[in-house]
Amino acid sequence: MNARTLGVFRPYSVLPERALYTTPFWQHEESAASTRKCWKCGTETDPMKELFFCTCGIVQSPADQLTFFTLFNIDESFDVDLKKLGEMYKDLQKKLHPDRFSQKSETEQSLAEQQSSLLNKAYFTLLKPLTRALYLLEIHGYTIEEDNNDINPEFLMEVLELNERIGEASSEEIQEIESEISSKIQENVKQLSSAFTAEDFKKARDIAVKMRYYVNVEAKVKTFYRDRM
Residue whose C-alpha is closest to residue 177's, from 129, 130, 217? 217
Whole-angstrom Cα distance, residue 47 to residue 26?
14
pLDDT at residue 213, as a whole number: 96
What is the domain class of 5-139 according to CATH?
mainly alpha
Strand partners, 5: 27
Q: What is the CATH number of domain 153-227?
A: 1.20.1280.20
pLDDT at residue 8, as a whole number: 32
Residue whose C-alpha is closest to residue 53's, from 104, 115, 110, 6? 115
Burial level of 215, CB count in 10 A (0-12/13-18/19+)? buried
First-to-last alpha carbon distance for the chain, in angstroms, is 51
pLDDT along the chain (229 residues), means of 10: 33 33 38 69 78 87 85 95 96 90 92 93 98 97 74 92 91 92 98 98 96 96 78
Cα dihedral across residues 155, 159, 160, 165: positive or negative: positive
- Please answer whether residues 210 and 188 qualify as being in contact, where contact means their C-beta atoms are separated by less than 8 angstroms: yes
- Please answer whether residues 72 and 127 qualify as being in contact, where contact means their C-beta atoms are separated by less than 8 angstroms: no
pLDDT at residue 99, as a whole number: 87
**Domain boundaries, given as residue ranges, for the chain:** 5-139, 153-227
